Structure 1
Amino acid sequence: MNFVAMNFHYVRYPLSYFLDKVEKSGLDSVELWAAAPHLNIYDATLDQVSFLKKDIQKRNLKLECVTPEQCVYPVNIASEDEVLRNSSINYFKKTIEIANFLEAPRVIVCEGSGYFNKPREEAWKQSAESLGVLSEFAKEKGIKLLLEPLMVTTSNVINSSKELRKMVDEINSPNLFAMLDTSQMSNYPETPDDYFKNLGDKLQYIHFVDRGHLVPGDGDLPMEEYYKKIKASGYDGCISFEICDRRYYCDPNKAQDDIEKWIETVTK
């Protein structure tokens, strides 16, 4: 498996500070959380993206995935507001173009949400139509789209591995795949076994984090057991660490060190 560092918890530091840390670490792959102040998709210019590409390459790092901020920004591909929905589709299209330029093979996309006082089917329909458009665009650019389910408090479209499989099958695109986020998963609740059972080879990426998107071992989830289940499944792809809790913002390097210590413990 390929362990991947992610920059979310470096939000109070320049992106170069994160890249410097990874360069000196035991990891050689990164996932880019694309948002200000690191890379604002809305305002990103060719010069900025070109500089970032050189910044990654000069450190001999591999960019595995681009994950644009989409849970707190005005981004919602399932919105009934046509203007917002189309703006969101264009936001992801620009992300896909940026990923292509950066030579990243993957982009993460969330399904969006409808109003909770309206039929879920309406939001599902809007999301499916948007994902169909984005999957076709990703195919043209040679990018894999990774669809991530969300918590029931965040979305009323996809919350479980079965719903995730249903959407992937409905879109039926060679460029749309599924991903597992262990923190999101635990709120349903499910286990990695459920995801592998329901998604099979459509499961192409993993965010491996403790409950609340903490460093493995800092929460109450059985992370070592989860890792063993993932390994036993035969999964041999990327395992990325999307660390989001504010407790890590002041000293993200310590969190990164703790992640590496955890990896050493479970892989020795």
Structure 2
Amino acid sequence: MPLLKREQVAGMNIHYMRYSLDTFLDAQMAAGIQSTEFWAGAPHFYLDAKTYANCKDLKKKITRKGLKLKVFTPENCMYQYQFAASKPDFFQKSYEYFSNGLKAAAELECPIMQCNSGWGYMDEDREEAWKRTGEMLSRLTSLAEKEGITLAMESLRPEESNLVITLKDAKRMFDEINHAHFKILIDTTAIGVAGESLQDWFDVFGENIIHAHFIDGNPYGHLIWGDGSRNLEEDLIVLKNNGYTGCLGQEITDERYFLNPAAHDERN
């Protein structure tokens, strides 16, 4: 039996940020990709603390190309909004931004929205930032339940965060949120950088793992399969042995792919 089904591979549009949305959708069709993890960032989708783009138009375009929208991912690394925002007004604006993400996901009938822990200032008490993240994710999870969406939290690399960057951190946050609409996203790059394995994560979270950013790396890099040194076949066997049925999001962010993303998706 195959280690994964074709529909489990979820193309992502983040490396198409210098191209139109239509180009991305056409490229997915040409590559035979059937599912998508939609990166809700400019220029493909407008989302801020006050408003968001017309979801009917987006849904129509995705459906016409024969794609299924599996995960909605508001931009949360390059924009000012983040989950551990510090000042009260910044925190509220970030909450409103991610709330609009949940509302958009609901309108798009997308069952999962990606999230992470955000980051605290390096010169503040880490526990203070941790508390802000807990409050943010708790509030968002309550809204997610009302909207019929599940949040999936990934770990980050030390260069991106000082909060959830390890399996131990993820377990602590997961236990503190403690909600049926709050689950786990495994990211092969972050896990590789932390020196952990996919099996480590399944041993702790099991069926609570509902999505994956499944990319190659050295261990750094969000690379096309085969461009790094990670043993992806071994990872696929781990997924299969643990009964994983979620998607494998192609979070390809290395700038080497930005010039001709369609060719790289085809190769992938």
**TM-score category of the 2 structures, normalised to the smaller one:** over 0.9
Separation of aligned partners in 2, 1:45 and 1:154 = 26
1:151 aligns with 2:165: no
Stretch moving more, 16-25 or 99-108: 16-25
Stretch moving more, 226-235 or 30-39: 226-235
Q: Which residue of 1 aligns with 2:226?
A: 217
What SS class does the counterpart of residue 95 from structure 1 fall into?
helix
Preserved CA contact (<8 Å) 1:34 1:40: yes
Query: Between Structure 1 and Structure 2, how many residues are aligned?
Result: 258
Separation of aligned partners in 1, 2:263 and 2:251 = 15
Separation of aligned partners in 2, 1:153 and 1:13 = 28
Preserved CA contact (<8 Å) 1:32 1:67: yes
Separation of aligned partners in 2, 1:59 and 1:153 = 37
Stretch moving more, 183-192 or 94-103: 183-192
Q: Which residue of 2 aligns with 1:264?
A: none
Separation of aligned partners in 2, 1:76 and 1:12 = 23
Gaps of 5+ in 2: none
What SS class does the counterpart of residue 190 from structure 1 fall into?
coil
What SS class does the counterpart of residue 199 from structure 1 fall into?
helix
Gaps of 5+ in 1: 260-268
1:109 aligns with 2:115: yes
1:200 aligns with 2:206: yes
Q: Which residue of 2 aligns with 1:5?
A: 11
Q: What TM-score do the two structures reach when normalised by structure 1?
A: 0.92
Q: Which residue of 2 aligns with 1:262?
A: none
Q: Which residue of 2 aligns with 1:20?
A: 26
Q: What TM-score do the two structures reach when normalised by structure 2?
A: 0.92
Select 1:231's aligned residue among 219, 226, 240.
Answer: 240
Identity in percent: 36
What SS class does the counterpart of residue 81 from structure 2 fall into?
coil
- 1:162: Cα distance to partner? 2.1
- 1:124: Cα distance to partner? 0.9
- 1:45: Cα distance to partner? 4.5
Structure 1 vs Structure 2 CA RMSD: 1.4
- 1:49: Cα distance to partner? 2.2
Separation of aligned partners in 1, 2:204 and 2:122 = 26
**Amino acid across the alignment from 1:242:** E
Preserved CA contact (<8 Å) 2:51 2:100: no
Separation of aligned partners in 2, 1:26 and 1:257 = 8
Separation of aligned partners in 2, 1:105 and 1:218 = 31
Q: Which residue of 2 aligns with 1:94?
A: 100
Separation of aligned partners in 2, 1:40 and 1:111 = 22
Q: For 1:19-48, what per-residue CA distance to the aligned partner results, in whole angstroms no more than 9, with x for missing partners? A: 1122233221111111001112127645x3
Preserved CA contact (<8 Å) 1:151 1:184: yes
